[in-house]
Structure 1
Amino acid sequence: MKSLIKRKSVALVAMILFTLCLVGRANAQEKTGNMNSFGMLDKMEMKQMSYVIPQKPEDISPLLYGEKIPLALLPDASGKSFDLNKAISEKPTILVFYRGGWCPYCSKQLSGLQQALPGLEKMGYQLIAISTDVSDGLMQEASKEKLSYTLLSDANLELSKKMGIAYKAPKGYWEMLPKTTGGKDVDLLLPVPSVFILDKMGTIQFEYINPDFKQRLSEDLLLAAASSIQKDL
């Protein structure tokens, strides 16, 4: 019980200190039908649903605490297909979504995550970061920042859309995104930078999502959250 209270307290602190956009999800659920007792939409309603891409990062509808992430096969930095869910089933995971290696705030975050990696691995976690960059871009970023953890490409943002963190990129990015995504980002989307802590079932135990891309979860808070949750994984 004490551990559960502590874990919820860590999540609450993160939500208070930073902006977690949940209003959009509540609105989306009102528009897409009734939930059954398990929190799932009826099959017929799911077929009728279509993903509506938010125009602003403040309007995203992210997956929430207690929900499972979807299945995904993504290219890694070498271009090989990586079974994300299989990897997650092997050990607890810190899953990070960032915009791309072209973003200085993302590069700084990736470097900070590398510094936090020994502490995370000591607690039994693996670290996986996902962006819109194609494999070549991932390789360049890993080399530039000397990263030793896994980088994956979600260039078409299919996973980001399923996670509920994709939104329409501002016009200033429209010329660049087709180049950095190898033409796969046909809808010109970006992910809201996000951090999820997952158990081996792929269930979200903690999340940090901030529509302001300049604000990232600090390494200290990530380590604190991971430490608190680790006791119950």
Structure 2
Amino acid sequence: MKNICTIVFVLLASFVNAQQLLPKTATDVSPLLIGESIPAITLKTIDNQDVALSDLFQKKRTVLVFYRGGWCPYCNLHLAALAEAEASLLDLGYQIIAISPDSPSNLKATEDKVNYTLLSDGNGALAKAMGIAFQAPEKYQSMLSKSSNGLNTDFLPVPSVFIVNNKGDIEFEFISPDYKHRISNDLLVAAAKSLKNETIK
């Protein structure tokens, strides 16, 4: 009987461990789909205060952006481009929220370049729950640890953009396993406009 219990325990432990393993590459991720809801997770603001995403979603429809960190030049280019589209998105009734594994203190360097909200997902709880986190290559691990103040050594988020309604439901998504390729402002604004028009109808 002891042997059977031991075997069952080992199998269960292996199963749980397998469930917690991150996808090995960016192309292996399985993101949430359109129509699914963003998990109710609390993140950190630049001032290191807790904030519930659901509370932010209730204020306005949201363009939710995941980027790798302020250390990534491609992410910085994308965030700067988003800043150029911000006025158009605000006119359509949207807010922009950008999320990375960077710690609140390290977000401040990026805050100087944009006006929209930046949030910290240092331990990757949100990125993992949304299915866009994958195993960081070894060469990134020390840098990720530094930028997250030690919370993250093992994951990267796939650069992603979601349009989310007030209930937190995904209405549009653009997932980019190739971190050098990002959604254009024209496509993003067109999608936001189309979704707003559908709501008005």
> What TM-score does the superposition give when structure 2 sets the normalisation length?
0.88
**How far did 1:48 drift?**
10
Identity %: 46
Which residue pairs with 1:94 in the alignment?
63
Q: Tell whether 2:32 aligns with 1:66.
A: no
Cα separation, 2, equivalents of 1:83 and 1:116:
25
1:50-72 deviation digits (Å, cap 9, x = unpaired): 33310110000100011001011
Q: Tell whether 2:118 aligns with 1:148.
A: no
Which residue pairs with 1:137 in the alignment?
106
Which residue pairs with 1:80 in the alignment?
49
Cα separation, 1, equivalents of 2:18 and 2:167:
26
- Further displaced range: 171-180 or 153-162: 171-180
Q: Please list, as runs of the form range in 1=range in 2, the aligned pairs for 1:39-54 lying within 5 A after superposition.
A: 50-54=19-23
Which residue pairs with 1:36 in the alignment?
none
Q: Please list, as runs of the form range in 1=range in 2, the aligned pairs for 1:1-12 lying within 5 A after superposition.
A: none
Which residue pairs with 2:179 in the alignment?
213
Which residue pairs with 2:83 in the alignment?
114
Q: Please list, as runs of the form range in 1=range in 2, the aligned pairs for 1:26-37 lying within 5 A after superposition.
A: none
Cα separation, 2, equivalents of 1:119 and 1:49:
44
Cα separation, 1, equivalents of 2:142 and 2:120:
19
Please, which of 133, 141, 145 is the counterpart of residue 178 of structure 1?
A: 145
Q: CA RMSD in A?
A: 1.5
Q: Which runs of 5+ in 2 are unaligned?
A: 1-15
Please, which of 120, 124, 127 is the counterpart of residue 157 of structure 1?
A: 124
Amino acid at match of 1:164: G
Amino acid at match of 1:225: A
Larger-Rg structure: 2
Q: Which runs of 5+ in 1 are unaligned?
A: 1-46
Q: Tell me the number of residue pairs that the alignment of Structure 1 and Structure 2 aligns.
A: 184
1:57-112 deviation digits (Å, cap 9, x = unpaired): 00001000110010111111121112211110221100000000000000011111
> What TM-score does the superposition give when structure 1 sets the normalisation length?
0.76
Q: Tell whether 2:169 aligns with 1:200.
A: no
Cα separation, 1, equivalents of 2:74 and 2:105:
20
**How far did 1:161 drift?**
0.2
**How far did 1:172 drift?**
1.2
The 1:232–1:49 alpha-carbon spacing in structure 2 relative to 1, beyond 3 Å, is farther
Q: Tell whether 2:198 aligns with 1:229.
A: no
2:102 aligns to what SS in structure 1? coil
